[in-house]
Structure formats: structure tokens, C-alpha cells
A = this chain, B = another copy of it.
Amino acid sequence: MDSITPLTIGEHRLARFPEGLTLDCGKHLAPIDVAYCTYGQLSHQRDNAILICHAFTGDQYVAETHPLTGKPGWWERMVGVGKPIDTDKFFVICSNVLGGCMGSTGPMSIHEDGTKREPWGTDFPPITIRDMVRAQCKLVRYLGIDKLFAVIGGSMGGMQVLEWTVTYPKMMLAAIPIATAPFHSAQNIAFNEVGRQAIIADPDWRSGRYWHEGVVPARGLAVARMMAHITYLSEKALMRKFGRRVREGGSSGNKFTGNFIGHIPLFGDIFEVESYLHYQGSSFVRRFDANSYLTITRAMDWFDLASDYDGELTVAFSGTSVLFCVISFSSDWLFPTSAARILVRALNQATANVSFVEIETDKGHDAFLLDEPDLDRTIRGFLRGVAEHVGLY
């Protein structure tokens, strides 16, 4: 990984807001850039826009080839012509979150401070999920939209969806929070903190000023990613995909069979699950910025929708007219169904219009990104229902 150079900010479609944004921390951040993609056509009535909120390490490239990795968009199976989120019917928007590293203002952005002109690094102000949502709201208005048809997202994207329903309830018709929770749990915080520690323990992090020295904390970031990746999958999915299979060859060129043979190295890929994790780690560092990792995980940690309402989640949703479709996955242990139930109970108590679906799957948290026909059906059906409800089609 020594040959990795810092990410360059590529060419992204940007909306610039010179007036900036006053953040939850009290600081004013200006200007701010919001990098985004859109799909489909905005209707004449401007009533068919869907905002998709990406997950922690996702980005705006929902349904097109990623410019950095060359891979398909992260939700191509969900968004497109004839897909559950049908771009023949809907105008779909997705923006890189504030604090991210795919064009929106974040720790990698250049900061002009008196005579200095350099990346923000760890001087980038702490941000919250609400700050991310405020930046998205600016973009939505900039695109000439007063009211979104729906806001949809999974995992941290789901947190943004929930924050939208509380901060801008009048600007949206429907919400689909997927595989998410109304607050980050102690376990969620704990895993995030281990990832952060792995990054800052890497000497190449250089107190966050790695850009200046042409290095990246690749090893620490890879460790953080590998650990996080385990939490995205269920034990059953890992067992089904890899079991205890050993690699033919392995990194050392040895062949391992059976229980235990000859010279076994302590390190390197012995089991298939290890080489899978190594791949996840090393490919991640080519597309993600370590300081964004720190900033965004902190934003997640602070997420607690009820905290502004004396801990009463029901009060947060009081009188809401948003139509909710809450989705969880049975084998998701990072954002388990029990967390979704807390959300649904509060929504019910607030007499919100809410449907709740727990999808049976062994794919774990990542199920929202994977081939899960029940998820497709649920989203397609709910969007159709809302559209009929308001006479959209």
C-alpha cells in the first residue's frame, strides 16, 4: 500500500453556496460545496423529486459508473428506468454528505485562512447529521424544489432521512429509513471509536496533515475498514460465503488443506475470509479519505434524534404529516430490528402514518445494498402507494 497517494478531488458536479452554513457546533462554514448527481427529469409541477441519502462510505454516484473506482453505482439495482425507484417517473437526487470526500466540502477541501491555503484536515469543524441535512436542503432548494416526494436512505443514510422528517417535515411527502436507528448505540459508538483509534495510531496519519507529506494512513484506514466490514455482514452470511475454507496458494504461495499442514505463517491470507477482508481494506483506502472517516463517524456518534426533545422521541415526530415506511433486516446486528421498533413505537405514539417491514434475510446490515427482492418490492410498492395517494400517477 506504500504507493498510494492522497486522493485528488476530481471533477464532480457541484453546487456552491457562498453564504455557507452555521453548523450545530456554532461555527460558520463558508463557502460550502455540495457535489451531487441527478437521474430522470423533474416534472413540470416539480413534485416528483426523490432525495437519496448515502451511507457512511457511500457517495453521490448512485446509478452511474464511479469516476474513481470505475465500478457501477452503489444502488444501480434500485435506481433506474423500470427499477423500484423508477427514473422514468422520478427525478432522483443524491449528494455527497458534508464532511465527505467526493466533492462536497469536507476535511480534504482547501481552506483559506489568512496567508495559509491548505486542506482543512482535522481543523475541519465537527459536523452533525443535521448539518449534512441542512446542506442537502440547500441543494434541494437550489434545484428549484419546494417539496420532495420522498427521502430515502439506508444506515447513516437512514439517519439523514429521519433527521429530514424532524428538521424539514413540510418539505417532504414520504420517508423510507432503512436499516437505521433513531440514535447511535453504545456498541455503534464503540466500533466507530476503534476505527478512529486504528487511523490515528498510524504514523502516516501525521496528526491529520498527511496530505502535506504525500502519504496516507493506509494501514490504519484499512484496519478500520476491515473491522467495520465485519459489522456489515451477518455471521451466517460470512459462514455461507467463506466458511472455514482456506485459500489455495495464500499470500505465501503455500497450499493449506485440512486442519493443519507444514509451515503455517502467522500472517497473510490463510482463510478465504481473510483475503476478502484484506481486499475490502486495501480497495477502500484508494477511494476514501481518513479525516473524512474521523469526521463522519463522529457525526454518527452524536446522532440522537430525541436529544432535542428531552429524550422523548415521540415529541420529535409530534404532528408529523410525513408518510413513513420503516425497513429493517432480520440479521442486521449493527442496526437491529429492535432499534427500528423503538422508532416505530414512537411514530405510532405520535399517530404518524407508518408502515414497518422487517425483511427476513441472512445478509446482515449490507442487505440494503444487495439483491433482496423483498426490499425492491417494499420500496416499489410504498412509492406507488404514496404516488396514488397524492394522484401523481
Q: Is A298 an interface residue (CB 8 A)?
A: yes
A230-B187 in contact given A260-B24, A298-B266, A302-B259 (Cβ < 8 Å): yes
Give residues 215-263 of A contacting B (CB, 8 Å): 219-220, 222-223, 226-227, 230, 233, 235, 238-239, 241-244, 258-260, 262-263
The minimal Cβ–Cβ distance linking A1 to chain B, given in whole angstroms, is 10
Residues on the B chain within 8 Å of A336, using CB = 235
The 8 Å CB contact of A333, one of B242, B294, B308, B333, is B333
A189-B128 in contact given A226-B194, A266-B295, A336-B235 (Cβ < 8 Å): no
Tell me how many chains of this kind the complex includes.
2
A191 near B230: Cβ-Cβ < 8 Å = yes
Q: Is A267 an interface residue (CB 8 A)?
A: yes
A271 near B194: Cβ-Cβ < 8 Å = no
A259 near B190: Cβ-Cβ < 8 Å = no
Q: Is A185 an interface residue (CB 8 A)?
A: yes
- Residue ranges of A at the interface with B (Cβ–Cβ < 8 Å): 24-26, 122, 126, 128, 183-187, 189-191, 193-194, 196-198, 200-203, 219-220, 222-223, 226-227, 230, 233, 235, 238-239, 241-244, 258-260, 262-267, 270-271, 273-274, 277-278, 281, 294-295, 298, 301-302, 304, 307-308, 333, 336
Known A126-B260, A193-B274; 7 more pairs at CB < 8 Å = A24-B260, A25-B260, A126-B265, A128-B259, A187-B239, A196-B267, A197-B223
